[in-house]
Amino acid sequence: MSPASDTDEHPSHSQSVKAQLRLREMILAGDLPSGSRIAELTLVDKLGVSRTPIRTALMKLEQEGLLEALSNGGYAVRTFTERDVSDAIELRGTLEGLAARFAAERGCAPSVLAQAKACLDQVDQFLSNDSLNDEAFSAYVAHNERFHALLAEMSGSFVLQRELDRVIGLPFASPSSFVISQANSGKARDMLIIAQDQHRQVLAAIEQREGSRAEAIMREHSRMAQRNLNEAMRSPDLEHMPSVRLIRRKS
């Protein structure tokens, strides 16, 4: 059967996921510009799957906030304002602060705390170098996201973890969204060292059962993402992060 066939009534879940992941990559890489209308038939040729899983993927990406449904049918790539992105980062900081407070006040599993410490030990190895190459930055991103996932787990709240997953799924709201945009900056390593110190401080506050302090540290931690957003938006060279073009600058 041809990939372009539309007779596939029950496409496999893997086809829908494949289409969703690839479409997200295309949007964030700037291959589908902000405001552009999505043509299903074009995607059939590019992705090599039928229209049914593509439609499912488009609906999922609308739910994520990367696409908007058009009044006359179909979808277009969304344009975000700086305020949209700033609000998403602020919301993540609020929820992560609550997660840290829950972990401190309610206590958390020692095994999860140990995993978080081990994760930070790995980050320390990257930051021990005087400069960071692209490989080190990629490794930092992976460990940073792992640490934040463990922090959510430490909260012991399924409800909070679910809401954090939703927020982190918002465009540009993940803990590492703007980290890579600083990769070529001379002060990048200094900023990551500050972030790493905040990670250590929040774990110490959790161990010492200092809920308010743990919450305040994570709220302050999100301010670094706000700063990275501001710097990324005003960078003279956005080629290293094409997805920033989806954000409309403040006038």
105-120 per-position pLDDT tens digit: 999 999 999 999 999 9
In a domain, 201, yes or no: yes
Both tokens assigned to 231: 């710097």
Positions in the chain whose pLDDT score sits under 50: 1-11, 251
Residues 6+ apart with CB under 8 A from 172: 80, 85, 88, 89, 178, 229, 243, 247
In a domain, 67, yes or no: yes
Domain that holds residue 244: 81-248
pLDDT at 13: 63
CATH number at residue 129: 1.20.120.530
204 and 101 within one domain: yes
- Cβ(225)–Cβ(194) under 8 Å? no
214 and 156 within one domain: yes
In a domain, 2, yes or no: no
171 and 107 within one domain: yes
52 and 160 within one domain: no
pLDDT at 250: 62
Please, what's the b/e burial string for 178-201 (b: 16 or more CB within 10 A of its CB; e: otherwise)? bbbbbbeeeebbebbeebbebbeb
pLDDT at 81: 81
Single residue among 44, 59, 78 that ends a domain in this structure:
78
CATH number at residue 29: 1.10.10.10
39 and 54 within one domain: yes
The span from the CA of 30 to the CA of 24, in Å, is 10
pLDDT at 236: 60
In a domain, 121, yes or no: yes
In a domain, 85, yes or no: yes
**Number of domains forming the structure of the chain:** 2
